[in-house]
Amino acid sequence: MSARKRKIRVDFKKNRGKRSRAGHEWREAVRQDQTDDLNADERISGKGNLSRKRTVIAEESEDGELIASLDVDVKDCLTGRVLSIVGSHQCRVQSEDGRVHVCAVRQVLRTLMKESRNTVVAGDIVLFEPLGDAQGMIHRVEPRRGTLGRGNDRNQQLIVVNVDLAVIVVTGVSPHFKPSLIDRFLISCEKGNVSPVICINKSDLFNYRELLPIVGQYANLGYPVVLTSAHTGYGIDQLREIIAGRQTVFSGQSGVGKTSLLNMIQPGLALKTSQVSIDSGKGRHTTRTATLQALEFGGWVVDTPGIRQLRLWDVGREEVEGHFIEFLPLVRYCKYPNCMHIHEQQCGIRDAVAAGLISARRYDSYLKILNDDES
């Protein structure tokens, strides 16, 4: 189905104008008969700061995102892909011929997309005008697909766009294993139409049998699970086979080994890594911004900064149960149609947890998400 188009009024920067004179100054000048001394081009009562507006045509996608359809001379522009964000309003863009430009973002785009924290995101396909000396100006952002994001204050923060696969990297040791974070990532992937893969790294540092119940739990639910070790190389070939020819993002907590895994998958990347803090047991932020890298065996991969907490975006409390696929066949046994499965009597979900049909860990994650508890 084609995107719907509609007109939108867009704010521009505020006009600069002289500060209007306060009314009491005029009255005092009249009282003292000194009006000749006043500047004739000043207003008695100014209109204040004025805003300029412009009407643009925007395409509204199925998820409600607005993509500006601005007047652009396509003959003077190139199509490229955003590799990384540089500063607040600039990014590195690789054109189809392989050249990399540092591009600014057109003001009207930043205004139109003010509802989102990101005007341009790693992975975006953009139309930009080369300005010489490897510089450029982005005029248009093409419609997005396959997004991974999170909530930030009142806006959505997109981590990466236009990806097929998300490798959710966790460990069985340091930093602390957080099943609830996996579940939040799974929901975020489902919301963004991205296929998830759970990767448990540092398998050389823990007893596999201890995590076997969790591995089996996710595998039984249909989620692919891969055990790897960036130190010994265990599972790297399997992971390389999964991401070959695809657009993939590696995401997870700081210190789980995302960058180390990528260096093992393709040693030529030579990405910077660091160790987990001994004092806190948490990972250090080594990767500062999401960065696209081309893979020798086909496809692209995105290394992202570590995420210690993941706040879900645009997921209402009543929607959460729908993202726990093991809940779906058992909801019909709840007495109340609006049952939230917290304390209600004759609840099919709570009975299933007590009977061992639903994992207590997954149910605990469900409750934490309902209560917006990110621990």
Alpha helices in 46-144 (DSSP H): 107-112
Q: Is 257 annotated as a binding residue?
A: yes
Q: Is 199 annotated as a binding residue?
A: no
Q: Is 253 annotated as a binding residue?
A: yes
Q: Is 103 annotated as a binding residue?
A: no
- A 10 A CB-CB count for 219 gives 12
Q: Is 202 annotated as a binding residue?
A: yes
Q: Is 252 annotated as a binding residue?
A: yes
Q: Is 256 annotated as a binding residue?
A: yes
Tokens of 223: 């989620």
Q: Is 231 annotated as a binding residue?
A: no
Phi, psi of 319 (to 5 degrees): -90, -20
Q: Is 343 annotated as a binding residue?
A: no
CA–CA dist 23, 230 (Å, integer): 72
Q: Is 189 annotated as a binding residue?
A: no
CA–CA dist 12, 109 (Å, integer): 10
CA–CA dist 225, 179 (Å, integer): 13
CA–CA dist 308, 14 (Å, integer): 38
Q: Is 287 annotated as a binding residue?
A: no
SS3 of residue 195 by DSSP: strand
Which pairs count as long-range contacts for 126-132, CB under 8 Å and 24+ apart, including other chains? 126/79, 126/80, 126/81, 126/82, 126/93, 127/72, 127/74, 127/77, 127/78, 127/79, 128/77, 128/78, 128/80, 128/93, 128/95, 128/101, 128/103, 129/76, 129/77, 129/78, 130/78, 130/95, 130/101
Question: Which residues contact residue 355 at a Cβ distance below 8 angstroms, ignoring those fewer than 6 apart?
Answer: none
Q: Is 258 annotated as a binding residue?
A: yes
Annotated binding site for GTP: 201-204, 252-260
Per the annotation, binding residues are 201-204, 252-260, 334, 339, 341, 347
> Which residues participate in the annotated binding site for Zn(2+)?
334, 339, 341, 347
